[in-house]
Every structure is written in structure tokens, then in C-alpha cells.
Amino acid sequence: MLAVVLVGGFGTRLRPLTLTKPKQMLPVGSVTMLQRVVDKLAAAGVTQVVLSLGYQPDAFIEEFPDGTCAGVSMHYAVEPEPLDTAGAIRFAAAHAGITERFFAINGDVLTDLDLAALWKAHDAFGGQATLALTPVEDPSRYGVVPIDQDGRVEAFIEKPAAGTAPSNWINAGTYVLEPAVLDRIPDGSRVSIERETFPAIVADRALFGMHSDAYWIDAGTPEAYLQAHLDLIDGVRGEPEASQSPLATVHADAVVTRSVLGPGVNIEAGARVVDSVVMRNSRVGAGAQISRSILGGGSSVGEAARLSDLTIVGFSQAVAAGTESVGQRFPSAENW
């Protein structure tokens, strides 16, 4: 089986972390987001992944020098310019010579969805495309997808205004597509699968959806990126993952609660780290307090600083001693 994985977005919502690394090359715990996505595809029997690349493609190519990841062979399709989701799938599929049914996946989705069941459902529906659908509380930041009792999609509404969504079931960013879908997408143009291609297939009554209650999160916002970490260490997805690398150092007078610490992290005396992510080789100075925040790798938080409410510190950034931050970003947006 083949899968096209979309990883070419700019990751703007996760800046400044994504100024120096594409979103899917950020760690989620001990491995990258992309590795988690590819592992899942491999477990479902996918043998070839086509990475649809745009922003900072070299970061991906360098990560897998022998062209394999989790035993899956990786094909790199680098867009000359951002083609948006449908344009990117069309470009990547043509680049890799795909002529058969395939998976297409948003590369920032972490899920325990049953991919084999989706493939089977697609076979049974007999349409041009089948989407996995997941329930969320606030559908307004997603593609909203009501289906009828036969699984046929009634409408595809990308990011509806708050309070107007006809359903809480949203596009989980995981599709089985027939090659016929590719023929609908004009070559080399910017086309959104959510705003153009799917609505056109709905009009032809050939789009289907499969509900799934499996664990699902789109890790593309700071809140969700943090939550994806907490879910892993809380054991929401099964056996909890280790929260602290054995190569992290926590001073005996420091307190670390429900947080992910990467290798080489140093938490100094009297510091407090709660519900946070501290990536590799970062330092939290003496007496600093970090809560619900994300520190990029190689960063340093000075003594007695207080960072809370989704403060994000970019890779290799230093935050001065005594800084107070409620949700600020370092560096701040005017320096991006």
C-alpha cells in the first residue's frame, strides 16, 4: 500500500518553533511527529510513503539518509511552490507515479485510527474517496463533514464560522483516494482539497465518510501540540510513555510534574516545571517557574523567570532572568 503524507505547510501556528524546523520534524516526546505518523502507516501495511514537501524539505531528506523510515521506503516530492492540499497530493502522486488506490494523510495528525478498517470501508462504499471522521467539541477549526445513514457525505464545510457547523464530526485528515480524484485536480495549480475537490466530489455523490472514536489529535496548534505530549505520558493512548529522558538532570530541590524532559535538559535548584515540554539540551534556571509552556531545544530560561499559558520559547533562545510571560513567544512575532 502507498501513502502520500502532506508535510509541506509552514506551521505558522507553532512559530517560533517552526521557524527553524518544519512542524512534522518537531519532537513529540522521544521521536519526531513524522516518525509517529510513518510508524502507524507501517503497522497498517504501508510499504511506500510519498512525502509531499514544500517548506524546508532538506530537514526531511537529511533525517532519513538511506531513504527509509520504520522499514518504509520514502519518496520525496518537493513542490516548486506551495500547491495547497489537493495540488500537493496531485503533484506528489504524479512525482511518485501513483496509479492505484492510496492513502493521503495530513502529516500533523496523531491518531489510533484503524487504517485497515478505513481501507475496507472504502471498498464497501465504492466511491471515489473515503474520509475518516472524528468527533470534536468545537468543529470550527476543522473541515465539518455530515454524512447520511449510508455513509455518504452530505456536505464538506471547511472551517465554518463558530456556532454554524451542522455536525461535530470532522475531517480527520486521513483519506483513501482513488486515482480518479487526481484527475479532478488541475496540474501545477494551487488547489485546496477541502474547499474545492471534496465539495466537487460531494456534488457527484461519490464522497464517503467513516466515523471513528479512536484517539485523534491534530498537533498543529500550541495547545494541541502540548496536549499530544501530555496524552502520551498520561497513558491516554495505552501504556504511558516515559516523560523524562534518562539523560535529563533535575536538581534535588526542583519539582517537575507531568512534563516531558528531553535528553540533556537541566532543571536547576528550586525550579518548578508543570504540564510542560522542555526539549533536548535546554536549561531551566534556578527558581524559574514553567507551566503549560513549550521550550524549544537548546533554549535557556534565566533564574526566577515565570512562563505560563502556552508561552513558547524558540530553539536556542535565551529568556532573561526574572522574565514574566503569560503566553508570549520568544522571539516575539516582530522578529520572525
- The least distance separating ligand GDD from the CB of residue 83, rounded to whole angstroms, comes to 5
Residue 10 to residue 103: CA distance in whole angstroms: 22
- The least distance separating ligand GDD from the CB of residue 23, rounded to whole angstroms, comes to 6
- Total binding residues for Mg ion by CB under 5 A? 3
Residue 336 to residue 319: CA distance in whole angstroms: 16
Q: Is 11 in the site for Mg ion (CB under 5 A)?
A: no
C-alpha cell read off for 46: 504501508
- The least distance separating ligand GDD from the CB of residue 304, rounded to whole angstroms, comes to 37
**Binding footprint of ligand GDD on the chain (CB under 6 A):** 6-9, 23, 52, 54, 79, 82-85, 88, 106-109, 142-143, 158, 170-171, 173, 194, 218, 220
Q: Sheet harboring 294-295: ordered strands across?
A: 260-261, 277-278, 294-295, 312-313, 329-330
| Residue 201 contacts residue 155 (beta carbons within 8 Å) | no
C-alpha cell read off for 278: 522542555
Spell out the alpha helix ranges (H) of the chain: 17-20, 33-43, 57-63, 84-96, 115-125, 179-183, 198-203, 222-234
| Residue 159 contacts residue 142 (beta carbons within 8 Å) | yes
Q: Is 285 in the site for Mg ion (CB under 5 A)?
A: no
Nearer to ligand GDD, 95 or 251 (CB): 95
- The least distance separating Mg ion from the CB of residue 175, rounded to whole angstroms, comes to 14
Instruction: Report helix, strand or coil for 215.
Output: coil
Nearer to ligand GDD, 159 or 251 (CB): 159
Nearer to Mg ion, 196 or 268 (CB): 196
Rounded to the nearest angstrom, the gap between the alpha carbon of residue 54 and the centroid of all alpha carbons in its chain is 15
Q: Is 108 in the site for Mg ion (CB under 5 A)?
A: yes
Nearer to ligand GDD, 195 or 251 (CB): 195
8 contacts which partner out of ligand GDD, Mg ion, none, CB within 5 to 8 A by kind?
ligand GDD
Q: Going residue by residue from 51 to 90, which x/- string records binding to Mg ion, judged by CB under 5 A?
A: ----------------------------------------
HSE-CB at 243 with a 13 A cutoff on CA atoms is 20
Nearer to ligand GDD, 127 or 173 (CB): 173
Q: Is 143 in the site for Mg ion (CB under 5 A)?
A: no
- The least distance separating ligand GDD from the CB of residue 37, rounded to whole angstroms, comes to 9
Choose, by CB under 5 A, the member of 218, 290, 295, 311 that binds Mg ion.
218
What are the residues facing 306 on neighbouring strands? Answer: 289, 324
Q: Is 220 in the site for Mg ion (CB under 5 A)?
A: yes
Number of helices and strands (H, E) in the chain? 8, 29
- The least distance separating Mg ion from the CB of residue 127, rounded to whole angstroms, comes to 24
Residue 266 to residue 132: CA distance in whole angstroms: 41
Residues at the contact surface with Mg ion, assessed by CB under 5 A: 108, 218, 220
